[in-house]
Amino acid sequence: MAVYDPAVREFSINVERNMLVYDPAIRELAALLESPEMKDVKPEIREKLENILDMCNKRNNYAEEITTEHSDVLAQITQETMNHPWEEVFKAGKTPWIMATRMISGPITSQFLNFIVSITKAKQILEIGMFTGYTALSMAEALPADGVVITCEISDYLKDLTSEFFSRSPHGKKIKPYFGPARETLETLTKEGRVFDVVFVDADKAGYRGYVETILDNGLLAPNGIILADNALSDGRPYLIPKSREQNPINDFNEYIANRPDLRQVLLPFRDGILAIRRTLEAEGQAG
């Protein structure tokens, strides 16, 4: 296994801080401070606005600093994902679109998923949307030796790249990628009678509703299982733009889940939001 510079870890955390923030209010404030509109604003007003932006950034940075660092291999995956020539790969016709580096999850999401897997004592994990394998490996690191992460990815280009990444970790052998449309993979898993303790959805946003419907209707979620849907805040779109299914598929998905009485959910507002979903009967306590 290659030996990487210790600075790789710090690089991967700084990536999270330097990426475009997910809160539209923070983006709006940062843009305002750079705009011509601030030219004639009193210095004390500008200073207050700059202090507000600084407090927002410090809050996010503090959360990352206090959160347990992710593993060296995960840091390597982050660095190499950020440095990969995605635009050239797309122009060469190897990927269906230019894969954005911000598709990789950050350290807080990584450790949250790791916590969920370990707390639930999960053994069977399903991931829809692998990208470069960062979250798949995050969850695999918390599994017992006989656990498995089945992860769905539509782009064949990522097959060799992720295989090499996973080979660097002793936990990589727990990951089983399926390449092709996720709907077809879900049909295959249903026929195989598979059930999953934790499901992490982080793929095409218009597909979320169909994926979760299939998982619930086809019995792919194990008793006491949990579904985690990433990007549930979708850069602010659910609460800022018209709420039609075509224009705003994440809001449509969120409301679909919220309107199902057989489900309980909580929207966790870190990074771009994660919607955690459980069956109502399994989430309710019993009176004495």
139-186: pLDDT as tens digits = 999 999 999 999 999 999 999 999 999 999 999 999 999 999 999 999
Find the range with the poorest average confidence among 212-226, 229-243, 270-284: 229-243
| pLDDT of amino acid 242 | 66
Could you report the per-residue pLDDT of 49-73, keeping only the tens digit for each? 999 989 988 888 898 899 999 999 9
β-partners of residue 179 are: 153
Q: Reply yes or no on whether the pLDDT at 7 is more than 70.
A: no
Global pTM?
0.89
| Averaged pLDDT for residues 78-104 | 92
| Averaged pLDDT for residues 124-151 | 97
Find the range with the poorest average confidence among 19-33, 125-139, 145-159: 19-33
User: Pick the residue with more confidence: 228 or 62?
Assistant: 228
CA distance 156 to 179: 6
Q: How far is CA 122 from the centre of its chain?
A: 18
CA distance 68 to 76: 16
| Averaged pLDDT for residues 239-253 | 83
| Averaged pLDDT for residues 13-24 | 58
| Averaged pLDDT for residues 276-284 | 95
Class of domain 72-283: alpha beta
- Work out the mean pLDDT of the chain and round it to a whole number: 90
CA distance 6 to 4: 6
| Averaged pLDDT for residues 222-242 | 93
Q: Reply yes or no on whether the pLDDT at 15 is more than 50.
A: no
| pLDDT of amino acid 101 | 87
CA distance 64 to 230: 18
Angle, to 10 degrees, between the axis of helix 7-18 and the axis of helix 72-83?
Answer: 50
Sheet holding 221-230, edge to edge: 175-179, 148-153, 124-128, 196-201, 221-230, 274-279, 263-268
Q: Where are the domains of the chain?
A: 7-66, 72-283
Q: Reply yes or no on whether the pLDDT at 125 is more than 90.
A: yes
159 φ/ψ angles, rounded to the nearest 5 degrees: -60, -55
| pLDDT of amino acid 64 | 87
Angle, to 10 degrees, between the axis of helix 208-217 and the axis of helix 182-191?
Answer: 0
| Averaged pLDDT for residues 282-288 | 87
The DSSP output letter for 102 is G
β-partners of residue 268 are: 274
| Averaged pLDDT for residues 81-94 | 94
Which residue from 102, 98, 105, 99 is spatially nearest to 74, judged by alpha carbons? 105
